[in-house]
Amino acid sequence: MKRTTALAHLKRGFFDRPADLVARELLGRYLVHERQEAVHIGRIVETEAYLGPHDLASHSCRKKTPRTAVMFGPPGFAYVYLIYGIHHLINVVTGPGENPSAVLLRALEPVQHIDDKTRGPGLVCRAMHIDRQMNGCDATAGSLYFAASPTGPEGFEIVEKPRIGVDYAGTWAKKPLRFYIRDNPFISRR
């Protein structure tokens, strides 16, 4: 398997912080999936934060279940689940500590070996070849990981908006916990 050595893995400490902070700081970083066939790389351009059990839009607000168990573990692990029976979505568990919170990846800008659309969380997983088999994997090591930009931090403006598709969450649906890079053509929805 060809390894990508130019991209440094983000360490567990990066994820051991509040989900809204991690969601903002993941923008401009990379999601990497090293497979036998190719190394897929996408630049993260849109995220959503889910703050824990008190956040009524978060899966962790309904107690620990077999599906959500990874959210109740340490930060830096992938939380991948199936929605509507057809779309896989990827989140990364955040902290601080073992607070069951996570960041959903909503959109990527293709960088390497991505031929499919990436404007939406289900499309991100399809383009990156991510499915439930990746649920619970350590996203700070191994073949699926987050990486810093090889050129360092970039200058861009971050837009904050309410999350998408969480109307059931009452006042939590209106909180500005969706973050994206202004004017990036790969965001899922303006």
Nearest to 76 by CA among 55, 96, 48: 96
Q: Looking at residue 6, what is its pLDDT?
A: 64
Q: Which pLDDT does position 63 carry in this prediction? A: 85
> How far is the C-alpha of 175 from the C-alpha of 51, rounded, in Å?
11
Query: In a 3-state reduction of DSSP, which class is residue 164?
Result: coil
The end-to-end CA distance of the chain, in Å, is 38
Query: For residue 32, what are its two tokens?
Result: 């990497």
pLDDT recorded at residue 109: 97
Nearest-angstrom CA–CA distance, 31 and 43: 6
pLDDT at 97: 81
3-state helix, strand, coil in the chain (%, to 5): 20, 30, 45
Whole-structure pTM value = 0.94
Residue tagged 């912080």 (tokens): 17
Element (H, E) at 180: strand 178-181
Domains of the chain: 12-181 (3.10.300.10)
| Interacting residues of 16 by C-beta distance below 8 A, sequence separation 6+ | 74, 75, 76, 94, 95, 96, 97
Query: Which stretches of the chain drop beneath a pLDDT of 50?
Result: 1-5
User: What integer pLDDT is reported at residue 123 of this predicted model?
Assistant: 97
- Write out pLDDT tens, residues 92-144: 999 988 789 999 999 999 999 999 999 999 999 999 999 999 999 999 999 99
What per-residue confidence (pLDDT) applies to 4? Answer: 47
pLDDT of residue 2: 45
At 33 the pLDDT is 97
HSE value, Cβ hemisphere, 13 Å, CA-based, for 99: 20
